[in-house]
Each structure stands twice: as C-alpha cells, then as structure tokens.
Structure 1
C-alpha cells in the first residue's frame, strides 16, 4: 500500500506497539495514531517518511525518546506527542537526559508482555471453564442421589414452563384482538 497518502487510525482502541512496516508507506502525507493505547517506543524507521506533513501519536502510552528533530520531524511540535507521560526529548520539555540509566522497553519486551497477557487470559478462561464443568456435574450428581431435590427441581421447571406458556398465549391473543380492531 505504498500509494497510501493519509492514514488516520485515531480513536480505534488500538493496543501494542507501532509497527515498523508503516515506514514503507513512502507516499504518506498524514499519519494520525492518536487517542489509542499504543505502547513502546516510536519506531526510528518512521524518519524514512520524508513527505510527512502531519503526524500525531498523542494520547497513547508511548515511552522513550521522541524522533530526532530532523527533516520533516523538525516541523512537528509537542501537540504531536502530548498525552504520553513517558515520552521525552524535543520538542517536549521533558529531557531524556534526566533518565540516564533508564532502559526503555524494546519491541521484543512488549511482544513478551503481550504473550504473557494472552497466557494469563488462557489460564483465567480455563479455570472458569473447569469451575463450570465441575459445578454442573456436582449439581447433576446431587439431583441424581437426592430424590426430593430432583422432584422439586422438575416441579419448579414444569411450573415455570406452564407460566411462560400461558403468558405467550395471552400475548398472542392481545395481538390478534388488536389486529381485528384495526
């Protein structure tokens, strides 16, 4: 898609890192990734976008230094980066030299975090599924061994079924009467 001129992905609830492949969109004049949940550093390869006239990564969770104030990136002010409290460097007032020993997370570390989150989700989902299956079969075993519980359960289901059936019939009758009157 090297023919692409404008890429506006703002307000899309995007997560993860900004992909390096965006730097291959050589005709890009406008890039807006603002108001998402992007993390990690801004890829250095974006400097290859020499025809860029508008750029915004505002209001994400980006960290590390901003892109060098060279060529087209020298024309973008702090509004392009605002809302990212962990970004530093020009044109922002926060200097990266204030963090001399800070190691900014790399793309690989961000990918590992994403993998960890998906493993956590898988464990959470599996434990809920296991809980549901065990609970269901315990309930079924209790109904099997406790005759009075079984009778009470089926009587309750039968009563609710009858009640729902009567309500549906009354509703259908009301509709038919309303149609006849019109």
Structure 2
C-alpha cells in the first residue's frame, strides 16, 4: 500500500453525502425523553409537583442568603 491508496480511501469515507448525524439524533431524543420524564411526572403527580416546587423555593432562598449575607458583612466592615 502506498501513500496514494491511503489518501483515496480517506477521501471516499469523508465524501459520503447521506450519512445521518446520529449524535444529533440521539441528543435530541435524549433531551425529549428526559424533559418529558421530569415534566410529565410533575404534571401527572400532584404530590411530586408540590414537593418539587417547595424544594426549588428553598434552594432559591438559600442562594439569596448565600449572596446577600457576605455583601452585608462587607458593607458593615467598610463603614466602621
């Protein structure tokens, strides 16, 4: 096998016009299944929906405190 034969084999593989982009297809299918797996269960099950939104609300409150408490502490130290 010479160098010319390897070049023609690589060119033939790269120029296939009807290749399906399997990565994109499986990524889209995974997103759809994951999205409806979570959102569908929240739509169907009322208890899970309440627990989920209560959890999100608690996380939001904790993040707010984690951001505002150090800022207020720094403001107090700068004042005096």
Question: Which bin holds the TM-score, normalised by the shorter protein?
Answer: 0.7 to 0.9
TM-score, normalised via structure 2 length: 0.74
Which gives a bigger RCO, structure 1 or 2 (Cα 8 Å, sep 6+)? Answer: 1
Structure 1 segment 12-161 matched on structure 2, within 5 A? 64-65=2-3, 104-107=5-8, 109-115=9-15, 119=19, 122-161=21-60
Structure 1 residue 115, shift from structure 2 partner? 4.7
Change (3 A) 1:174 1:127: same
- Number of residue pairs aligned between Structure 1 and Structure 2: 78
TM-score, normalised via structure 1 length: 0.37
| Ranges in structure 1 where 5+ consecutive residues have no aligned partner | 1-62, 66-102
Change (3 A) 1:156 1:110: same
Structure 1 residue 104, shift from structure 2 partner? 2.6
Within 2, Cα distance between the matches of 1:170 and 1:163?
A: 11
Report which of the two structures shows the higher radius of gyration computed on alpha carbons: 1
